[in-house]
Amino acid sequence: MFRRIRRDIQAVFERDPAARSLLEVLLCYPGLHAIWFHRIAHWLWNHNFKLLARIISNISRWLTLIEIHPGAKIGEGVFIDHGAGVVIGETAEIGDNVTIYQGVTLGGTGKEKGKRHPTIGNNVVIGTGARILGAITIGDNCKIGAGAVVLRDVPPNCTVVGNPGRIVRRDGQKVDLLDHVNLPDPVASILEVTTKELARLQARVKALEAEQERLRALLEAKEETRREAAQ
């Protein structure tokens, strides 16, 4: 137990440059508190104290804004950074040295019984607001981008981005030519085309107005010449 507690504290120092002292980590890191509450609730859950486990889980949620079902399995060295809005379902399994940022959901996709939440491998990083849903497996050493929605298994050593989640790197090599950072903006494209067309129409109107002014001047000159001839 004490070895696991030391590993949880060590994970904070390894992955958060803002951590300055042991006392600060012990008092001011809700992600760490949530993990420790969960260790207690998970032990009670496994020893058939289901209600008490759920009560402790709810107390943890009120205090940390992190909801972890007591049935979830969490490995060593897991670091929940900030953590507000994190939800981890009952049958979720998380490996060792996993980093989870705020707003992440490890959830189910329906009302089915049994295994219905994700299995996360070792050394995985899950970005802010990512949604990993269903009884899928995320392999070791994967990176899940912020805001990604992952609904299918991901092999080890991959980077996943987008909604729906797409693998863009595998074993350090780019496997998808789509640039998820500089995605085309259809609204901006339409505005650009509209602006160009408007500029063309404005130029055409100015040309017509100039032609109309030239014709008016010509008619006035002819009229003036006719008047002078009549006199």
pLDDT of residue 51: 96
pLDDT of residue 33: 94
Average pLDDT, the chain: 88
CA dist., res. 37 & res. 63, Å (int) = 10
Greater model confidence, 165 or 132: 132
pLDDT at 181 over 50: no
pLDDT above 70 covers a percentage of the chain that reads: 92
pLDDT of residue 187: 67
DSSP-based three-state secondary structure for 168: strand
Backbone angles phi, psi at 175, to 5 degrees: -115, 0
- Average pLDDT value for residue range 80-102: 92
Residue 38: count other Cβ atoms within 10 Å of its Cβ.
Answer: 25
pLDDT of residue 65: 94
CA-angle at 224, arms to 222 and 226, nearest 5°: 70
- Write the CATH number of the domain with boundaries 2-174: 2.160.10.10
- Average pLDDT value for residue range 105-129: 89
pLDDT of residue 109: 82
Report CA-CA distances (Å) from 117 to 2, 41, 150, 181, 213: 29, 18, 12, 29, 75
Comparing C-alpha atoms, which of 76, 59, 77 is closest to residue 68? 59
pLDDT, one tens digit per residue, over 164-176 is: 888 888 877 666 4
Residue 197: count other Cβ atoms within 10 Å of its Cβ.
Answer: 10
pLDDT band at 186 (very low <50, low <70, confident <90, very high): low
pLDDT, one tens digit per residue, over 149-166 is: 999 999 999 999 888 888
- Average pLDDT value for residue range 17-24: 90
Domain spans of the chain?
2-174, 184-231
pTM of the entire predicted model:
0.69
pLDDT band at 219 (very low <50, low <70, confident <90, very high): confident
Greater model confidence, 153 or 225: 153
Greatest Cα pair distance, the chain, in angstroms, is: 120
pLDDT at 74 over 90: yes
